[in-house]
Structure 1
């Protein structure tokens, strides 16, 4: 019989991509993903052992293992080891695959035989999210979830992996102009890349490539620019005592700890100065 672990778990994100940071007191952690989701286990600092009905895998720090839905997995980590667990909804992963390909996918995403190693960009993003004690601002959660879904699909070996690497048709600048108009009209919405691609009638990959070709910058850079302008307008509108710099930064999807440096780099003064008004310049 497997020993029941004594765990301290902190849920970092919620939704179709759920990130949890688990500190194991006894050194053992057991997780049974439900039939609707995948589980990615990432050791922090120490090696761990993952056993399911088909595999027994030793996973080193900096690597990960993907457990498919409906598989009872047992994770054995060293005493007081730490594990980042990422639960990925099967439906969300399939929907993102369809958005990337621009066509219907009639079968669920089935990664090849374990173990698999998501790329370092994906792993570092997950670890950064897990290490951040502050909650992700609500406006930014959909974008982070979609980023994790996209990077996972691009780094795993699955039947549609080659199709994701195929070239996509390019489109004229009028499509990008329409998307920019939409972004500027609804800057405070929880916009996602897949939602914007659907608005443009393109796949996610086609939208990304067209954006870089015609704007010479990533889509995310334009989104950040538009939302930064939103923070500037709010800082000028409100008076001290009516709101705070942190509240405005969070409302527009920026991490409060990073926002002042980004704002000052763009506007040449700290956000506190803008909130207090020109008399304090």
Structure 2
């Protein structure tokens, strides 16, 4: 009889524990849904308040960390170039994006959303510093996004406003275009640009999210840059046609309006295509590389 009572007691404790865990999980999922809703409405501060509370209550869950990293990034991306905060303030934000991605990775190295946002933070910090001033990190950045593709994160927001896999392909597409394709970069820093890869990565992003203005823009840029570098005018024309089509795509993100304006700017001056970044035009000349190397 005592044994039966003991087993009944254990069963009751387990049942209560499971019920409590179930309620806790529901509460966490509700917080993530609210953070997503606020992010979708572009209310980043309110979304962050929910996420900060979630981090306090559920510090071992990865999702609040990458979501907050995304909020911080998007909050800056919607600001036009000529109204951006000072460089040091931007770098501080991107370091915070990286730190959130890193914490996320430490909690779960197999969560591709974590590696994606660590990589995005690294990439935008690099373009803010200047690509040629950030060459020491290009091997790690490439590896971070390739790891994301290997992990195959499945997150996709409504309307494809965010799509982890498409976004990872797009990051690599920009990486391979903006980074010069000099062999010496591979020898010294472990990675280099590759315009054929850039086009391939961006085509993949557009296949996944054909309505995303930023991905379509990046494909157009890569084709124009490839055509210019390889003396293939048909690629340039294909890229221009793609950029012209952006005006007819739906605005899903606030930064889409900036990208539409930039598409027009790039059509007027296609020579900007290879070094273009939404935040700032990147220097790609050998003279600038040698000058940067001599200063270190």
- TM-score calculated relative to the size of structure 1: 0.29
> Which is helix-richer, 1 or 2?
2
Bigger RCO (CA 8 Å, 6+ sep): 1
> Which is strand-richer, 1 or 2?
1
- TM-score calculated relative to the size of structure 2: 0.28
